Structure 1
Amino acid sequence: MRVSSVTMYEQSISSMNRQQNDFLKVSQQIASGRRVVNPSDDPQAASRAVGVDQARAVTQQFADARVSARNSLAQTESVLNSISDAITSAKTLMVQASSDTLSDADRESVASELRGVYETVIGQANATDGNGRHLFGGYQDSTEPFVRKTENNETFIDYVGDGNTREQRIDASRLMKVNENGESIFNSVPSGAGYVAEADAGNSGSVTFSGPQVIDNEDNEYGDSFRVTFTSETEYTLESGGEGSWSEVTTGKSYAAEGSVIEAGGLRLELKGQAANGDIIEFAPADKMNINLFESFEKALAVLENPAQNDSDKAALRNTLNTVMREFDNSLDNVLTKRASVGARLNELDVVDSVGGNRMLNYEQTLSDLVDLDYAEAIGDYSLRQVGLQASQKAFADMKGMSLFNYL
């Protein structure tokens, strides 16, 4: 077979180009740090790498969402801590105001301090996060959830937010609440909050109460509400029910101003003082009585800022302070329950973060195994390709210089 000079030339060019292409490919791998520079380098690995990279991106999005959720929950927990401290201060002031040694001026001083605590609680209830959204407004977080209103010459705090709670997806299978709405914090009591007694604001007698205490849990199972209505200075009627629908339990029961005990539905209520016809004292489960924290402040301020001029005023003062102290206890328990819930969610975020971090490491390792370069192997291959290219170039140069005319 005759091999022409053109054939030898073309084969040498082709061999040199192939060596140069292999050398360039290794150079690109070393420069990029990746074994798979183009999908054609390893189609199967490139395809799997796309899926792993997408899963890693989703995991990173969840990690970013957890950062946002953590910030929101941390701010909520901080505000709830401030609110619990404020309620504790208010309860301390109630104990101080209950002392019989205080004068009207002393109680006004206590009321002034209590009003400062009250304004602090209102401010915390309208607290915002770092983005200017109100923490406790539910979905209505662009405006203050608690506003001061006046009706019939009475000022009160009204909740204008909604009952929803903002949620955020922190993982593929977990949707987490990232705040609490104001209704559940400031207008609610925890389950099992106990019982509260309250004297009617229109009472003209000087009857004071102590309790109620639970003396029989079995009789107390259904959580009935009771109302004591005095029909004279020495007799009363006991009714059960609530919300405008009352039915008589006993009627014409004797009452002694020196002290009487009423037992009903597993509860015990002690009464003492001079009764007047029409006086009413109600005792019921805490969730059927006043559950509004702001109203508790208003009731306490109303009696502390007004002088107790007679026995009826003093009885109203003592009864109101006793009621408000129980309401503060229930509100504090509720806030602490909400704070514990927020803390549990913060702990859960730590756990999910740990799992997500391990998942990210697995994705990184898998992606590295698929497309990353083994530098030791690549450098050895680079040196080999370089020698091969140099040999190809030398062979081409030698072949090009060969001619029969050199031997003539």
Structure 2
Amino acid sequence: MRVSTSQIHQAAVKSLLDQQAALSRTQQQVASGQRILVPSDDPAAAAEVLGLDQSTRITAQYQENITAARQRLNLEESTLGSITNLLVRVRELAVQGANSTLTNVDRTAIGVEVQQNLNELFDLANTRDASGEYLFAGMQSRVQPYTVDAAGNYSYNGDAGQRFIQIGATRQVASNDAGSEVFQGARAGNGVFTVAPHPANTGTGIIDPGSVTDSAAYDGDTYTLSFPVATPATSALVFNDAVGTDDNLTYSLDINGTTVYSVSEAGAPVASLDALASVINDDSAVTGVRALVVDGGLYLLNTTPGAGPITVTERMSGASDGDGDTLTGYFGSSLSGASRPSATLTFQEGAADFYVVEDSAGNVEASGPYGENSAIRFNGITTSLHGQPNTGDVFTIAPSSRRDVFSMVKDLADTLLGGVSGDSDKAAYSNAINRFLADIDQAMEQINAVRARVGARLNAVDSQESLNEAFKLHLEEARSRLQDLDYASAITRLNQQMVGLEAAQKSFLRIQGLSLFNFL
């Protein structure tokens, strides 16, 4: 085969250029430390590296999100800690204010400090983060969560939402808590039910917050604990019309001056205490008195405590035989036509010795002699009273509802600043303090529960940060295996390519000088 000089020359040049290109590529790899300089070097590996780079960028974003979440959660945890310390102080002031030896001046001084704490609590509830967003406004982070009007009423303007931040491929964490959950999530009283005295009570009874001692028996109804007055009433009404006349004797029963029942001897009088109580209760709205039957006895009670004595008047009419016509009324009055046609019994308010518990339908659930500090038990509930209630006093036991901590503290301040005068005022004051202590304990428990959840989220953030770091390291290792250069192999190859190129250059110099003319 004939090979021309030009072919030899072109082949040598091409070989030199190829070796120079290979050497240049190896030099670039050594200089950059990367095996893949362009995707065409290893298309499959290059595609995989792109995916790894994207995963690394996403993981880095997760880490930035974790930093932001941690900052907000740390601020919230710190704020909740300050709120807890503040409420502990307010509770100490309430206990201090419960001291019976304090004067109204002393109570006022304590009340002023409670007001200052209330203002600080308001400021803490409106805490902002470094970007000016409110911590406790839910999703409405640019809206001030709490405002107060001129009357001292506090309003929540946020919502119940939470803002979630993505901290992992399948994991989110809430970076805040709504104020409605933090400051309004507690149930008043003991967390199950509340106890409250009627504001018009005249006695010195102070009710215990109570507890549920049998959850299976507790039915969540609203109950009334009252102290009625016992009466001598019976179920018998006896007419005695004198022989020889045909009178139509009539019996009338008046409560506080209002006739509630009337019947003639020709009629059919009510024949049971329950029926008698029913006719009395039909006019309770007018007389201000209601009746109830307990353990075979009829009891009377003012519908509003402190309304005054209850008068019961029994009257006989229609007699024509003077004292020969007689009548014995339900309340034991012995009436006669001439000398005693009517009789009045007056039941004064005074120290109570008997209690009755009724449900919301008026059914009697419990009753018995009243004893100071003696347990009153019914339907899974146990409570007691300290002090001496008066007949007519009423206490309500109702299921707990949610109550905001601002109202709790404000009511305490108002109680301390309101002053105390008289035994009934002292009882109302003590009941208010007891109610606050029960309520604030529930509020603090709620805030501590939120604080615990914040701590759990901080732990989750720390855990996820470690997972992200480990995953990021894994990505970098995988990328390194695909992209990073094996320097030992590359240097060896570089030296081989340099030797090869040098040999090719020398051979090319000798070959290009060959010509037939040199031998002619």
Q: Does 2:212 match 1:214?
A: yes
Count of residue correspondences = 397
3-state SS in 2 of match to 1:227: strand
CA distance, structure 2, for counterparts of residue 178 and residue 125 of structure 1: 16
Partner of 1:198: 196
Deviations 1:216-242 (A, max 9, x none): 34323x3433232453543665333xx
- 1:41 aligns to 2:66 (yes or no): no
For residues 53-103 of structure 1, the C-alpha deviation after alignment (integer angstroms, 9 at most, x for no partner) is 222222222222222222221111111111111111111111111111211
Deviation at 1:2, TM superposition (A): 2.3
1:132 paired to 2:129: no
Give deviations 1:358-394, integer Å, cap 9, x for gaps. Answer: 2111111111111111112111111221222222222
Alignment counterpart, residue 393 of structure 1, candidates 505, 509, 512: 505
Contact 1:108 1:304 in 2 (8 A): yes
The counterpart of 1:280, out of the listed 394, 398, 406, is 394
- Asked if the contact 2:405/2:443 (under 8 Å) is kept, the reply is yes
Shift of 1:259: 6.2
**Is residue 163 of structure 2 the alignment partner of residue 166 of structure 1?**
yes
1:208 alignment partner AA:
I
Question: 1:110-150: CA deviations, max 9, x gaps?
Answer: 11221222112111111111211111101111121010024
Looking at structure 2, the residues matched to 278 and 381 of structure 1 have their Cα atoms a distance apart, in angstroms, of: 107
Identity of paired residues, percent? 32
Deviation of residue 32 (structure 1)? 1.6
Q: 1:314 to 1:257 in 2, by over 3 A?
A: farther
- 5 Å-filtered alignment, 1:140-155, equals 140-150=140-150, 154-155=151-152
Gaps of 5+ in 2: 228-300, 303-348
Aligned CA distance change for structure 1 residues 3 and 260 (closer, same or farther; 3 Å)? closer
User: What amino acid is aligned across from residue 161 of structure 1 in structure 2?
Assistant: G
Displacement of 1:319: 0.5
In the alignment, which of 167, 175, 178 is matched to residue 175 of structure 2? 178
Q: Distance in 2 between matches of 1:162 and 1:344?
A: 23
Which of 435, 451, 473 is matched with 1:361 structurally?
A: 473
Q: Measured at CA, do residues 340 and 379 of structure 1 come closer, stay the same or move farther in structure 2, by a change above 3 Å?
A: same
2:365/2:378 contact within 8 Å kept: no
Q: How does 1:5-404 map to 2 (within 5 A)?
A: 5-150=5-150, 154-189=151-186, 193-220=191-218, 222-230=219-227, 231=301, 233=349, 234=352, 237-240=356-359, 246-250=360-364, 256=370, 261-275=375-389, 279-285=393-399, 287-288=400-401, 291-404=403-516
Gaps of 5+ in 1: 241-245
Task: Give the letter aligned to residue 332 of structure 1.
Answer: M
Bigger Rg over Cα: 2
Residue of structure 2 in register with 1:243 after alignment: none
TM-score (norm 1): 0.90
- Alpha-carbon separation, structure 1, partners of 2:369 and 2:389: 9
**What CA distance in whole angstroms lies between the structure 2 residues aligned with 1:197 and 1:170?**
46
* Inter-partner Cα distance in structure 2 for 1:204 and 1:82: 41
- Indicate conservation of the 8 Å contact 1:189/1:330, yes or no: yes
Q: CA separation in 1, counterparts of 2:509 and 2:199?
A: 114
Aligned 8 A contact 1:229 1:236 in 2? yes
**Displacement of 1:14:** 0.3
SS at match of 1:322: helix
- The structure where helix makes up a greater share of residues is 1
Task: Tell me the TM-score normalized by structure 2.
Answer: 0.71
Post-superposition offset of 1:187: 0.7
Task: Rate the CA distance shift 1:176–1:190 in 2: closer, same or farther, 3 A.
Answer: farther
1:258 & 1:402 partners in 2: Cα distance? Answer: 132
CA distance in 2, matches of 1:258, 1:358: 67
Residue range with higher mean Cα deviation, 353-362 or 330-339:
353-362
